[in-house]
């Protein structure tokens, strides 16, 4: 990949102490410090960008860069040695301009845009993107939001990964990087039950179907909920008709994904409302996969075939172009999202 293109950018400096500082556009930099390898560790590539603060990453400069068109830059890559299954400790935010600004990570088991990151399953292409929650880092947020390749440009995954969408903090408040959209009192939710995708308590699905309240986190007052979905940093706050009791998650065998991401980037989401689409026997569907149509399963079969490293599902258009029965097409799955708590 080509080096940074912006004119007048400060050059990369290397000191005897092995501290490397890269100044990006607007005087923003990365400080890289080599660290000792740990037992049972993995290598994680980190890309970081911010225009409001310095992000220090303790690791070694990889020698490559990742193209970031949103930033008109090619961002350097830092490789760090990380204990497997442990939270990422290599990145530090310094010189914060706005109080409350925190680091946000993508490429984590917890999902995207989280404040604490456990890098995904080990592999030579494990990669993490880091920026801040400050609104002025909107371009970096957009870049990290679509970050799905390693520093070398190869896919970051060698198998399907199961991740949790966690848009709230431990005390139930909106997590950093999420924007709350208050729905007022015109539409109150009711008929709540444990969310079909919940892995933790007090996550519910509610009606009416027009609200698309498939995963809602009960707030501490138990009179309002925050509803969201993977890939969207907006949380919709709804009131409920009556205070909600405590809800426990469904048994694991009965849980169903909140969203399914195919390897081509298509997001499959659970259908809400309306009559079931007509499908040839023996197929039925609960998920919509955009231009691929419906994710279908035959009676008595699971939606996801887990027999290979990359799980698969079958998609089918509602009607074939020639007027005959549509043909199911098997597609590989990159990520399966559930709804969780920290």
Return d(Cα 157, Cα 121) in angstroms, integer: 8
Contact at 8 Å (CB) between 107 and 129? yes
Which of these ranges, 29-33, 149-153, 213-217, 298-302, has the smallest mean pLDDT?
29-33
**Average pLDDT across the chain, whole number:** 79
Summarize pLDDT for 222-276 with one digit per residue, the tens.
Answer: 999 999 998 788 899 999 999 999 999 999 999 999 999 988 878 899 987 667 6
Annotate 302-341 with b (16+ C-beta within 10 A) or e (fewer).
ebbeeeeebbbbbbbeeeeeeeeebebeebebbbbbbbbb
Residue 115: pLDDT above 60?
yes
The rounded percent of the chain whose pLDDT value lies above 90 is 35
Residue 89: pLDDT above 80?
yes
Summarize pLDDT for 171-186 with one digit per residue, the tens.
Answer: 888 887 788 999 988 8
Parallel/antiparallel/unpaired status of strands 216-218 and 203-207: antiparallel
Residue 64: pLDDT above 70?
yes
Residues 6+ apart with CB under 8 A from 192: 204, 205, 206, 207, 216, 225, 240, 244, 247
Contact at 8 Å (CB) between 182 and 237? yes
Which of these ranges, 48-57, 113-122, 159-168, has the smallest mean pLDDT?
113-122
Beta strand residue intervals within 95-233, DSSP E: 103-106, 127-132, 161-165, 179-182, 188-194, 203-207, 216-218, 224-227
Summarize pLDDT for 280-289 with one digit per residue, the tens.
Answer: 888 988 899 9
Half-sphere exposure of 60 (CA within 13 A, CB side): 9
Beta strand residue intervals within 267-323, DSSP E: 267-270, 283-288, 294-298, 312-316
120: confidence class by pLDDT, cuts 50, 70, 90: confident
The rounded percent of the chain whose pLDDT value lies above 70 is 80
pLDDT reported for residue 150:
37
Cβ burial, residue 243 (10 Å; 0-12/13-18/19+): exposed
Residue 327: pLDDT above 50?
yes
pLDDT reported for residue 272:
79
Return d(Cα 226, Cα 298) in angstroms, integer: 34
pLDDT reported for residue 124:
53
130: confidence class by pLDDT, cuts 50, 70, 90: very high
pLDDT reported for residue 26:
32
Residue 322: pLDDT above 90?
no
307: confidence class by pLDDT, cuts 50, 70, 90: very high
CA-wise closest residue to 309 among 268, 257, 263, 251: 263
């Amino acid at each position: 990949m080509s080096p940074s293109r912006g004119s007048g950018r400060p050059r990369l400096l290397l000191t005897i102490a092995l501290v490397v500082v890269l100044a990006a556009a607007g005087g923003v930099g990365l400080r890289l410090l080599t660290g000792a390898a740990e037992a049972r560790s993995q290598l994680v590539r980190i890309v970081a960008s911010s225009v409001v603060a310095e992000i220090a990453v303790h690791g070694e400069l990889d020698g490559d860069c990742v193209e970031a068109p949103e930033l008109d830059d090619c961002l350097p890559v830092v490789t760090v040695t990380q204990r497997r299954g442990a939270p990422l400790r290599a990145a530090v935010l310094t010189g914060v301009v706005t109080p409350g600004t925190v680091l946000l990570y993508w490429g984590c088991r917890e999902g995207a845009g989280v404040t604490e990151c456990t890098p995904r399953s080990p592999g030579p292409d494990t990669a993490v993107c880091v920026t801040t929650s400050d609104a002025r880092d909107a371009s970096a947020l957009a870049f990290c939001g679509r970050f799905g390749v390693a520093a070398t440009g190869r896919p970051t995954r060698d198998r399907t990964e199961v991740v949790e969408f966690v848009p709230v903090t431990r005390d139930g408040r909106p997590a950093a990087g999420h924007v709350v959209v208050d729905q007022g009192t015109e539409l109150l939710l009711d008929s709540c039950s444990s969310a079909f995708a919940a892995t933790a308590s007090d996550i519910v699905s509610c009606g009416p179907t027009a609200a698309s309240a498939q995963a809602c986190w009960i707030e501490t007052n138990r009179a309002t909920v925050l509803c969201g979905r993977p890939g969207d940093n907006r949380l919709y706050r709804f009131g409920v008709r009556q205070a909600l009791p405590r809800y426990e998650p469904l048994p694991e065998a009965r849980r169903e994904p909140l969203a399914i991401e195919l390897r081509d980037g298509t997001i499959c989401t659970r259908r809400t409302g309306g009559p079931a689409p007509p499908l040839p026997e023996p197929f039925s569907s609960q998920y919509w996969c955009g231009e691929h149509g419906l994710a279908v399963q035959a009676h008595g079969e699971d939606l996801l075939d887990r027999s290979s490293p990359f799980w698969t599902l079958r998609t089918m258009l509602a009607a074939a172009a020639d007027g005959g029965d549509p043909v199911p097409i098997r597609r590989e799955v990159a990520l399966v999202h559930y709804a969780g708590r920290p």
